[in-house]
Structures are given as C-alpha cells and as structure tokens.
Structure 1
C-alpha cells in the first residue's frame, strides 16, 4: 500500500506583531493529543511589525543595545530559538512550521536541513539558481543572506522557523550584525530578481516547495478554521 503523506494546514495569518505571532505558535503547538499521529500539523505564514529578536546565544547584546534598537522604532524580543540576533519586518515572509517530527523524520538536524532545501527550492522556482547553504546558518546568495533560520523543538514538536526577505527594507539590518556573522550582507528576492516581489507573491511558491521537499500534503485553511484563527488572533493581539 502507498505510504500516506503527512498533512499540513497552511494558515495565512497576515501581519502581526511578534508577541502575537509567538502566542499564536504556542496555541497550535500545545495540542492535547495522546498519540503523535493525531497531532495536527500547521504552517503559520505571516509578516511582522519591525522587531529585532535574539536567540539562545545572545553574544553580548545588553539592555543598552535593546534600548538603542527600540529607539529606531522596532520592538525587541529574547526567544528560545537557535541562532543570534536578526530582524523581522514588513516585506519578509515569516514561516513557522508547527509540526510533529515523528510524522516526518524524528531529527532536528534533518528538519533544519529540510528547511534549508525548501528555501533553496523556493528561490530556484522564483528564478534564483545560486541560493545555497554555507558554513554559516541560513540561505545565502554569494556573501549576502536572503533567509534566516532559527528553530526550536520540544518533544518532537517544532516552533519558530524562517524569515525570507522578499522586499524587506534592508536599512534595518545596518544597526546589528545579522545572526552574529561579521563582514557579510543581506539581500532580498526583489534585489536579486530586479523587480518587486511581495510576501504574497512568494507564499504560493514557498508552499509548493514545502510540500515537495517535506514530502507532505499542504492544504489551505478551511472557512471553519479561518473563523477559529480569527478568534485566536483576536485573543492574542
């Protein structure tokens, strides 16, 4: 008999502040299920208001740094994801897979590698053939990062995810050392392709790539789920 592929429901959450996005993740990750096969997998897609986030390796960022960055008009959050400091904001596709790895492959290393391949495939489908991984985290085009990756796993359930620069204002990155990597830059899909690429433009291609690389079925949220999501968003914003 053919193997049944895992099912993932894509949720287009729109633009949210980081705190709301974080709490939305928590709502979906804390499912009350007794068996992993009953876990409902989700892929939360959104944009954030301007925010700087730091992972579990803070690398010397102090309260003074936090105050300096907040004065730029951005929020600031310390998180439990991997990686160092990065920026999220308008024009960036933020994707948070909330999936149970026992329905896929029970390995964080496999998961990160598969996320990387998903972004590379997304770039390829959009017309960028030279996106790749390096010794540094994330996805790169030459010496410029186009996508940041920072994940967290607990009991095989994933949270956090990726930030793919579509038409992000890169000036925000000038105030930090993105992901703690000295001497390298940041780029966007729009910059690489020579025309405007919005988050909406990138989502369809990303979903196709996610389904292909993760070997899963991706379905859009139903009307009933859309209503449930609206209620959750109302309660977390």
Structure 2
C-alpha cells in the first residue's frame, strides 16, 4: 500500500469544537457510505487533521462522561466539557497537546481495528525515539496509549464506522498536567500522566513535534502526504 495519498490539514491552535467539526466533515466525505462523496477539490479521500486545542477541555468517551455534579466542578475550574464519539473514558486535552485525528480507510489498508490502534502506538513510539525517549513503551490492553513507566504520555481513543476512522490520539507536549488532577484519566486508577517537556527536561511545543510526527506517520501508514489549505467552516 506504499504511496497512498493522505491529505494533511494543519489547523494550528483552534477551539476543540472547531477542530472536531473539521474532523467530522473529513470523516463524512468517506464514512457515510464508506466512499468519498463528490468534492469540488481534487483532494485525497483520506486525511489527518492536526490541531492544538486553544482552551482546556475534558472529553468523555463512549464508555463514560462525568456525572452532573462532577461536570459542574470541572466547568467551575474554567474547562470546557465535550462528548467525544470515540472509545475510552474521560481524559483532558488543551493548550500544549498535539491532537492528530486520522481519517483512514481500514478496509482499503487491510487493517483490523486493533491493528490500527497498535499502529498508532507504534507511530508515537517512533516519534518518541526520534526525540530521544527510548524508554517510551506500549502496554497490553486495557492500557492503550504510550507510556513512560507508569505515566501515560499519549492517550489513544478512536471511532470507526464503515471501516473509516476518526478521532485518534492526544500527545502531551507542554500540557499543563495539573488539569489531570481533577479526573481519573482514561478511567485508570493508580496511573499517572506525563509530557514530552517533563521527560525531556526542556520546553517542547506542539510545533516542535509536527515534522517528526508526520515523518513517523508516513513510515507507519506507508503513505504520501498532500498538504491542503485550512478548509475553514
């Protein structure tokens, strides 16, 4: 499958809700019937949406959102709440988090869902090693994501409909980790969270990781990246 084109939409710093809408439109072009709908632009049918949430957001997955009282406490701290159509439980994303959302056709690529999740983990492991974090590792289910010791550095939660993926991963680059103190991240008791900045001992921004992320993405998914203008609303 070498060379399959994947459109890259680099949104930069955006509200979570805006980036989610772009992702849902990209999924809708392929996911409603498993094939691309007519599009006025000659763009590849697969995409990866890259963004950094401009504000703090707690996002609950399909396996649970906070109850009303807990939700009110989180809002009182100045965070937004969102219901995400992905696997997993509540987690946090915000400024300093790299939030890539691949929209890929798993049937076209011959990938089962679990194999796709493993591919995302492998992608982040490649990225971490490029940055000098050789100790990053993946753990067996239910401990999805990428870990440094007992602390998660990258959460993974995906949706798949008609073999088309959406959502993806949230990589802590220079995220304010104190936001995680108010939840049980991903529902995993006794586990911590960390960031690239904490592990590397220097300030690592989302912009710093985009190029090595895209290099790793191309290697893992054997694709050709096609850069596209921001689609807007």
Q: Report if TM-score (shorter chain) is over 0.5.
A: yes
Contact preservation (8 Å) 1:12, 1:45: yes
Partner in structure 1 of residue 16 of structure 2: 18
| 2:88 maps to 1:88 | no
Partner in structure 1 of residue 41 of structure 2: none
Structure 1 residues 57-108: Cα deviation after superposition (integer angstroms, max 9, x where no partner): 117x311111111111110012220011100000010000011122312411
| 2:40 maps to 1:42 | no
1:104 aligned residue (109, 126, 134): 109
Contact preservation (8 Å) 2:29, 2:35: no
Distance 1:111 1:122 in 2: 17
Distance 1:106 1:202 in 2: 26
Distance 2:34 2:172 in 1: 36
Distance 1:24 1:182 in 2: 33
1:98-177 paired onto structure 2 within 5 Å = 98-135=103-140, 136-177=143-184
Matched residue of 2:58: which SS?
A: strand
Structure 1 residues 111-156: Cα deviation after superposition (integer angstroms, max 9, x where no partner): 1110010001100011100111113121100011000000000001
Partner in structure 2 of residue 9 of structure 1: 7
| 2:34 maps to 1:64 | no
Distance 1:35 1:72 in 2: 40
Matched residue of 2:198: which SS?
A: helix
Extract unaligned runs of 5+ from structure 1.
233-237
RMSD: 1.8
Matched residue of 2:29: which SS?
A: coil
| 2:206 maps to 1:208 | no
Matched residue of 1:23: which SS?
A: helix
Matched residue of 1:45: which SS?
A: strand
2:187 aligned residue (157, 180, 184): 180
